[in-house]
Amino acid sequence: MKITALPLVLTLGLATAALAHEGVSDPQVKSRMMVMEEIRINMGAIGGMAKGKLPFDAKKAETAKTKLLKASAKVQPAFKPAAQDPASEAAPAIWSDWDGFSAKAVAMDVALEALDTSSLETLKAGLGAIGQSCGGCHKVYRIKK
């Protein structure tokens, strides 16, 4: 058990270390990155099931959806203060166009609300819209470093 679990632990560790939030000192920037990290983790659970990498489990999918909705609700309060950090990928347009940014956050809420976690088919069907809501915001308001 310990031996088979090890490669997974290593992989997850490496994936986490590559994220920008590792080097961040500003607490506000760190906390908004952690909101995104929470979103990434739970999207991973749902995406893994949809791609067949994880066994489909309606209960786990529903739990992930609930956590995603909670994290999504934190996006606007977490990004509202225009905090800066050299490691941040946040674009200045977030604060010069707060309404536009907020609309992207609402779009993610709507896509998440619409996700039907009751079967693998409905999960797969709802995932595309959620993925688009991530990309729709990142394209405009996140600067890839």
How many residues bind to ligand HEC according to rule CB under 6 A? 27
134 assigned ligand-binding residue: yes
137 assigned ligand-binding residue: yes
Structure tokens given for 1 = 């058990």
Residues in the chain, overall count: 145
Distance (Å, whole) CA 34 – CA 119: 29
105: contact with ligand HEC by CB under 6 A: yes
89: contact with ligand HEC by CB under 6 A: yes
Structure tokens given for 87 = 């490691």
Q: Which listed residue (46, 64, 90, 123) binds ligand HEC by CB under 6 A? A: 90
Q: Which listed residue (26, 28, 37, 38) binds ligand HEC by CB under 6 A? A: 37
Q: Which residues contact 126 (CB under 8 A, 6 or more apart)?
A: 111, 114, 115, 116
CB-wise, 6 or 81, nearer to ligand HEC? 81
26: contact with ligand HEC by CB under 6 A: no
CB-wise, 6 or 15, nearer to ligand HEC? 15
Distance (Å, whole) CA 80 – CA 88: 14
